[in-house]
A and B are shown apart, each in its own frame.
Chain A
Amino acid sequence: MLKKLLVANRGEIAVRIIRAAQDLGIATVAVYSAADAGSLHVQLADEAVNIGPPAAKKSYLNIEAILKAARDTGCDSVHPGYGFLAENAAFSDAVTGAGLVFVGPSGDAIRMMGDKVSARSAAAAAGVPVVPGSAGRVESLGAGRKVLTETGFPVMIKAAAGGGGRGIRIANSLAEFEQAFPQAEAEALAAFGDGGLYMEKVIGKARHIEVQVLADGSDAIHCYERECSLQRRRQKVWEEAPSRALSDELREALCASAVALAKAVKYSGAGTVEYLYDDEADRFYFIEMNTRIQVEHPVTEAITGIDLVAEMLRVAGGERLRIRQGDVSVKGHAIEVRLNAEDPAKEFAPFPGQVAELRIPGGPGVRFDSMLYQGYQVPPFYDSLLAKLIVHAETREAAIMRLIRALNELKIGGLKTTKPLFLALAADPAVRTGDVHTRWLEGWLIENAAALAG
């Protein structure tokens, strides 16, 4: 078992990790920037170390400062949380190189899953369905024409060196494809210094479904799936478990494929394998694997009763997985919404400020993961997540009723938050029936802009 853990993060996830460590009797060290001296994770940890000025680059992304804090306080381990350095292979290597335990996978596993082409190859090799497309780079227009027999139209032409939505062209016909391919090649060369292209079928209406895995380097299990189809600008805002879209048969196949991938890459710790699910074709396709604990992990904890962060800490401490696959079962339905310091009436403009009043919802089936307290000054330097409200009930319908009840109990005075968005979504017929896809919310926001502003 680990003895003393440095938590290399801030906000609600730092609080979450400190709680899990303290439940296991592990001493905790918080790190903080000058802007976070009064924050909750600093108050709750056994010790806290100032690692630099407010800019994340100089504090929460400063590997040297974090390793020094770990050495100075006698830590034997580091948990990276999510964001910041969580999927930085060099950080994992540096922590291990300093003789400490990194609570997460090896640098090599992070590197393999971080590279789009190698992750896709690893998934395909493990028998996980990938989005139909080219096996690797497409060297010529002629080679591209052959790939079209796999993908059909519309097809995406992507820059191999691109990312974050840059360097993508979509062709709807052979004529468009033949025009777009050389243009995409020239653009990729100009933008990235690398004209390499690859191709993928466009999945029109798809759900985002992801499988939680836990692994110890040799054995791996899944903890079923989450659906996160409600997204704004590719950011999830509402997550639930289980997904109502899947048949039991497809659910088992999906979850088994995630376990196969985790085992194939000898994964260790908690990870998430993300998929697109095409309702019409009733098929799922691998997108990527996230090698960290995710923001939305509590919905899985609610339906399975497993403390995922505690299991990460146990595995990192050298234990084998304690939970057998047969012990994991789903009970009820859970929903999480992300309360951000953003004004939904003004195109989600950020709204840092002081928490003048705080009323936290409670009662059966309600969990509130947050770093807020009355009087807390929300700094402008980091992301806008203030709190996650998680509800759990016997059925999805009951969970939505409970979500509305809990949102009405919640009061965060002095700030604009995304609470009005979730009250409106919870009342929407499409959300009630679960008839949504990953681009549904963007359209809904345009249609309902006036209602949100009022």
Chain B
Amino acid sequence: MAQILSPLPGTFYRSASPDQPPYKADGDAVSAGDVIGLIEVMKSFHEVRAETAGTNIRFLADNEDPIMAGAPIADLD
């Protein structure tokens, strides 16, 4: 099992905008380089990408959660 950690502190978003579906749903497979969410830091937005491929992503952080750098965002099998 692998974990995806937040590279930055800020607010975590699971989709590109409120009217878009989430980048990934729980249970989805993930390829290395896939965008799995956004972190908003001081009004600028940064994509979070998976560093390794995996199956069955399970999000630990909810949409709009405040998050610290290094905190786990999701588990991957």
Report if A54 contacts B (CB, 8 A).
yes
Would B66 and A381 count as touching, CB distance under 8 A?
A: yes
- B residues 34-56 near A (Cβ < 8 Å) are 40-44
**Which residues of A359-407 are within 8 A (CB) of B?**
380-384
Residues of B within 8 A of A350 (CB): 41-44
Residue with the highest number of chain A CB atoms closer than 10 Å, among B40, B44, B64, B66:
B66
The listed residue (A55, A382, A383) touching B64 by CB distance below 8 A is A55
Indicate if the CB atoms of B41 and A352 lie closer than 8 Å. Answer: yes
Query: In B1-26, which residues have CB < 8 Å from any A CB?
Result: 8-11
| B64 near A352: Cβ-Cβ < 8 Å | no
Q: How near does chain A come to B69, taking the closest CB pair, in angstroms?
A: 9
Q: Contacts of B66 on A, CB cut-off 8 Å?
A: 35, 53-55, 381
Give the complex CA separation of A55 and B41 in angstroms: 11
Q: Is A302 an interface residue (CB 8 A)?
A: no
Q: Which of A35, A342, A380 contacts B8 (CB 8 A)?
A: A380
How distant is A383 from chain B, measured CB to nearest CB, in Å?
5
- For A55, list chain B residues within 8 Å (CB): 11, 64, 66
Q: A383 to B11, Cβ gap below 8 A?
A: no
> Which chain B residues border A54 with CB–CB below 8 Å?
11, 66
Which of A341, A352, A382 is packed against the most chain B CB atoms within 10 Å?
Answer: A352
- Asked whether, in the complex, the Cβ of B11 is within 8 Å of the Cβ of A381, the reply is yes
From residue B15, how far is it (CB to closest CB) to chain A in Å?
Answer: 15
- Give the distance to chain A from B41, nearest Cβ to Cβ, in Å: 5
CA distance A384 to B40 in the complex (A): 12
The residue in chain A whose Cβ has the minimal distance to the Cβ of B8 is A380
Interface size class of B (residues with CB under 8 A): 10 to 19
Question: In angstroms, how far is the closest chain B Cβ from the Cβ of A284?
Answer: 31
Q: Which residues of A contact B9 (CB under 8 A)?
A: 352, 380
| A380 adjacent to B41 (CB under 8 Å) | yes
**B43 to chain A: which residues have CB within 8 Å?**
350, 382-384
- Give Cα A53–Cα B11 distance, bound, in whole angstroms: 11
Number of interface residues of A (CB under 8 A): 16
Question: Interface readout for A4-47 with B: 1 if CB under 8 Å, 0 if not?
Answer: 00000000000000000000000000000001000000000000
CA distance A349 to B42 in the complex (A): 9
Complex-state Cα separation, A78 to B9, whole angstroms: 31
Interface residues of A in 212-229 (CB under 8 A from B): none
Chain B residues positioned under 8 Å from A342 (CB to CB): 42
Measured CB to CB, the closest approach of chain A to B62, in angstroms, equals 11
How far, in angstroms, from A352 to B69 measured CA to CA in the complex? 11
Report yes or no: A384 in contact with B11, Cβ–Cβ below 8 A: no
A58 to B10, CA, bound (A): 15
Cα separation A381 to B64 with both chains bound (whole Å): 11
* Complex Cα gap A57–B64 (Å): 10
Q: Which residues from B are CB-within-8-Å of A349? A: 44
What's the least CB distance linking B54 to chain A, in Å? 27
State whether A341 touches B11 (Cβ < 8 A). Answer: no
Interface core residue of B9, B10, B40, B42 (most chain A CB under 10 Å):
B42
Distance between A56 CB and nearest chain B CB, rounded to angstroms = 9
Q: How far is the CB of A389 from chain B (nearest CB, A)?
A: 19
Q: How long is the Cα–Cα vector from A391 to B46 in the complex, in angstroms?
A: 35
Interface residues of B in 46-77 (CB under 8 A from A): 64, 66
Q: How far is the CA of A53 from the CA of B8 in the complex (A)?
A: 19
The answer to whether B64 touches A380 (Cβ under 8 A) is no
Task: With both chains docked as a complex, state the minimum distance between the C-beta of A166 and any C-beta of chain B, in angstroms.
Answer: 14
- Identify the closest chain B residue to A56 (Cβ): B11
Min C-beta distance of A118 to chain B, whole Å: 27
For A352, what are the chain B residues with a Cβ–Cβ distance below 8 Å? 9-10, 41-42
Q: Shortest distance in angstroms between A342's beta carbon and chain B's nearest beta carbon?
A: 8
Q: Which of A58, A349, A350, A352 has the most CB of B within 10 A?
A: A350
State the CA gap A382–B42 with chains docked (Å). Answer: 5
Complex-state Cα separation, A149 to B43, whole angstroms:
41
A453 to B15, CA, bound (A): 33
Measured between beta carbons, the chain B residues less than 8 angstroms from A383 are 42-43
Chain B residues lying within 8 Å of A382, measured Cβ to Cβ, are 42-43
Of the A-B pairs whose beta carbons lie under 8 Å apart in the complex, a sample of 30, sorted by A's number, is: A35-B66, A53-B66, A54-B11, A55-B11, A55-B64, A55-B66, A57-B64, A58-B64, A341-B42, A342-B42, A350-B41, A350-B42, A350-B43, A350-B44, A352-B9, A352-B10, A352-B41, A352-B42, A380-B8, A380-B9, A380-B11, A380-B41, A381-B10, A381-B11, A381-B40, A381-B66, A382-B42, A383-B43, A384-B42, A384-B43
Top 5 A-B pairs, shortest CB-CB distance: A350-B42, A380-B9, A380-B10, A384-B42, A54-B66
B residues near A, CB below 8 A? 8-11, 40-44, 64, 66
* Apart from A57-B64, A381-B11, 16 more pairs, CB < 8 Å: A35-B66, A54-B66, A341-B42, A350-B41, A350-B42, A350-B43, A352-B42, A380-B8, A380-B9, A380-B11, A380-B41, A381-B10, A381-B42, A381-B66, A382-B42, A383-B42
